[in-house]
Amino acid sequence: MTTAEQPREYHFVLTVQKPASGGCIVADWSGYLTPEPGWTRHDTYQAIRAEHVKQNPTLAHAGVLFFSLEPNQL
């Protein structure tokens, strides 16, 4: 496998908002992952959202305010 073919690690930031009594809940989540071979940006976004909801079920129907996905290597 050449360097160009090596899996690439990405850093992500996700910010969501959901109405709550008396205001709203805003939550940030960040981390890194290596997408599965063949995944698109959308597939990666869906996987990140699914894991976020799994870890934070109360935010299942929150609206996304911000999403960033960038190579983790500087």
SS3 48: helix
Cβ–Cβ under 8 Å, residues 16 and 27: yes
The arithmetic mean of pLDDT across residues 14-21, rounded, is: 96
The arithmetic mean of pLDDT across residues 23-49, rounded, is: 97
For residue 40, what pLDDT band results from cuts at 50, 70 and 90? Answer: very high
SS3 38: coil
The arithmetic mean of pLDDT across residues 11-16, rounded, is: 98
For residue 55, what pLDDT band results from cuts at 50, 70 and 90? Answer: very high
Contact partners, residue 71, CB within 8 Å, separation at least 6: 8, 9, 10, 11
- Angstrom distance (rounded) from CA 43 to CA 40: 5
Domains along the chain with CATH numbers: 3-71 (3.10.20)
Which position has the higher pLDDT, 3 or 33?
33
- Angstrom distance (rounded) from CA 27 to CA 62: 9
- Mean of pLDDT over the chain: 93
